[in-house]
Amino acid sequence: MAATIRTENVWKTYGANTPRQVDAVRDLSMEIEKGTITALGGPSGSGKSTALSLIGLLTRPSRGKIFLGDQEVSGLSEVFRTKLRRTEIGFIFQAQYLIPQLTATENVALPLLCTDISRSEAEKLAREKLTSLGMEQRLDFRVVELSGGELQRVGIARALMNAPRILIADEPSASIDEKLTKELLATLRTMVEDEGLTVVVASHDPVVLQWADVLLMMHDGSVKGSS
């Protein structure tokens, strides 16, 4: 199976050539296959979140190459990197960064408002996506009125509004209990199986790590083992 994501000898250095230099990612080489769930495990500070930021095109490598499919993307201009993020990649963050004053539907529709889709059509599509995730009774509830599990579903719906090929999740279970975590993971598994989505998740949660198809353990910015 072809790799959806590939990194070749990628480094990310902060404060280069200063006393505060930190190599957050060191010589990272890995391949992530299409339609699979890959978990990055390891202790805090091991480079998991930085690795996600790099493959999600949120930050550039200090050196090395990153490929999405056959396209080398690490050297692209910021305009093209932004376009790829909008069309190819969805993000679920530990903090959902939802707007409290808006409803679930309005939050999920936001990514489409940057396109040529009208507001009414964007909200129609948002309602359909939320309904598919079991949120049909909460469409017009504001964020502050939703439970932790409901907030996670809103976050997933928003991440999937641009029909991405790749979904990146950083510590998605950090703010919810084990029951809600298993529900979240079951939802993502269904999307992988039904839509061919490729999921990359960083976590220290054993429930999440055991759920993944592939587990890559990171330490000191590098992958030190896999299973």
| Predicted TM-score (pTM) of this structure | 0.87
Distance of CA 203 to the CA centre of its chain: 12
Report all structural domains of the chain as residue ranges with CATH numbers, in order of start: 3-96+156-226 (3.40.50.300)
Burial state string for 130-162 with b = 16 or more CB within 10 A and e = fewer than 16: beebebeebbebbbeebeebbbbbbbbbbbbbb
Q: Pull the structure tokens for residue 24.
A: 């957050």
Q: Pull the structure tokens for residue 81.
A: 């990197």
Q: What is the dihedral of CA 57, 172, 200, 197, to 10 degrees?
A: -100
Instruction: DSSP for 20-39, please give it.
Output: T-EEEEEEEEEEEETT-EEE
| Three-state secondary structure call for residue 113 | helix
pLDDT per residue, tens digit, the chain (227 aa), is 456 899 999 999 999 889 999 999 999 999 999 999 999 999 989 999 999 999 999 999 999 999 999 899 988 999 999 989 988 999 987 767 889 999 999 999 988 887 778 899 999 999 999 998 889 999 999 989 998 888 888 988 998 888 899 999 998 887 778 888 888 888 889 888 888 899 999 999 999 999 999 999 999 999 987 77
